[in-house]
Homo-oligomer: A and B are copies of this chain.
């Protein structure tokens, strides 16, 4: 470990989504089935408000959320399986060996196991990262990092801190979530939104003068006063024990006040948050060639991008085209991996995580070395990302 400061580059981004595709129509059908079950359990009575929670359609989801489909894991597959597939693809395609890795940082809100074991440890084994060097244990740094929808950019910030401080030199940064595990099938609000995906990004130390980032190019924000807006009522340590009725009602699954999210987050991210982050970095909206927002909801993101366009944004918006749903910790690297042709040297990018907590974590950087990206998902052929009017 050198006592001098290092910079960080991204060497490669790999994304994986499980094979099973759920169309909006299939989600709507599942919600109808759950309504029938719930009605029979409640003796045939559902209030109009209750019944409404099960109602959706392909047309409604496309119009108000912007998603066309999402991928779901099979039973028995969790975050570690998504992450391991993405990381193996990263190693195979990049030629990097597992033995080159000295740290594993896992951004996720859906740990494969409660309490223990952590996914960072599971991935050491899944990926064959050596733990011994002759008779001595080989150091591997790592942990699981969680910050709701901002988990990936927060994890990127930790990777940057580790590398810059000389505590790691080659990190596999995971952003992976099996969000289908968090769906309450008695509530359309997240059932129409969430999807499963895993990503792996290689973060490598470079000399300081080649740094893609700088400390001033990260910006973070926490506001717990609005925590109930995106919240799982039970199952955490504040309310660990649920009755069978609460389980039936999905109290241990994620819930959202979608209207409040739109009312609070769109103007905040669209205005004061981006202004504060740009001011800290000394960047202007016009500097950004590429922006990728956490794919919370494409219509919500379009509202933010519209506000940014008015503030001078001319760059391209890279997203996953609504084909994977909101994959939480995977969304930003997934969108980058779907648009590899845009990741050319010299481009300045902005990565924007925001959501539950409330939280926000932004990063600005400049691509200074070749950045390759791979997915098992096929290219985003022929499609034009919403908000990219200048490419239209």
Interface of A toward B, CB cutoff 8 Å: 1, 3, 5, 75-81, 103-104, 109-118, 120-126, 129, 131, 135-149, 151, 154-155, 157-158, 160-162, 164-167, 177-178, 181-182, 215-216, 218-225, 227-228, 230-232, 235-240, 244, 247, 252, 254, 268, 272-273, 275-276, 279-280, 355-359
Q: Which 5 A-B pairs have the closest CB atoms?
A: A78-B238, A125-B224, A121-B357, A116-B356, A161-B161
Q: How far is the CB of A154 from chain B (nearest CB, A)?
A: 4
Q: Which of B136, B166, B221, B252 has a CB less than 8 Å from the CB of A272?
A: B136
Task: Judge whether A147 and B147 touch: CB under 8 Å.
Answer: no
Say yes or no: A112 contacts B237, CB within 8 Å.
Answer: yes
**Interface contact A115-B109, CB-CB below 8 Å:** yes
Q: Are A357 and B280 interface neighbours, CB within 8 A? A: no
Taking the nearest CB of chain B, how far is it from the CB of A210, in angstroms? 15
The answer for the CA separation of A224 and B129 in the assembled complex, in Å, is 10
For the residues of A in contact with B, the DSSP-based class is mixed
Q: What are the residues of chain B within 8 A of A140 when measuring CB–CB?
A: 220-222
Q: Check if A115 sits within 8 Å of B221, measured CB to CB.
A: no
Q: A143-B146, A230-B117 are in contact. Are A80 and B238 (CB under 8 A)?
A: yes
CA distance A236 to B236 in the complex (A): 12
Residue pair B237, A117 in contact (C-beta under 8 Å): no
Q: Which of B124, B165, B235, B239 is in CB contact (< 8 Å) with A160?
A: B165
Task: Please give, as numbers and ranges, the residues of chain B lying within 8 Å of A110 by CB-CB distance.
Answer: 115, 236-237
When C-beta atoms are compared, the residue in chain B nearest to A158 turns out to be B158
Chain B: minimal CB distance from A95 (Å): 23
Within the complex, what minimum Cβ distance (angstroms) separates A225 from chain B? 5
Residues of B near A109 (CB, < 8 A) are 115-116
Copies of this chain in its oligomeric complex? 2
Given contact pairs A144-B147, A237-B181, A121 touches B220 in the complex (Cβ within 8 A): no
Residues of B with C-beta under 8 A to A162: 158, 161
Q: Which residues of B contact A238 (CB under 8 A)?
A: 76-81, 112-113, 178
User: Which residues of chain B have C-beta atoms less than 8 A from A137's C-beta?
Assistant: 221, 268, 272-273, 276
A121 to B80, CA, bound (A): 25
User: Which residues on the B side are within 8 Å of A158 (C-beta)?
Assistant: 143, 158, 161-162
Give 26 CB contacts A-B under 8 Å.
A1-B215, A5-B5, A75-B239, A110-B115, A113-B232, A113-B235, A113-B238, A114-B252, A114-B254, A116-B357, A117-B227, A118-B357, A121-B148, A121-B357, A122-B227, A129-B222, A137-B273, A137-B276, A139-B220, A140-B222, A142-B220, A158-B162, A161-B161, A167-B215, A177-B237, A178-B238
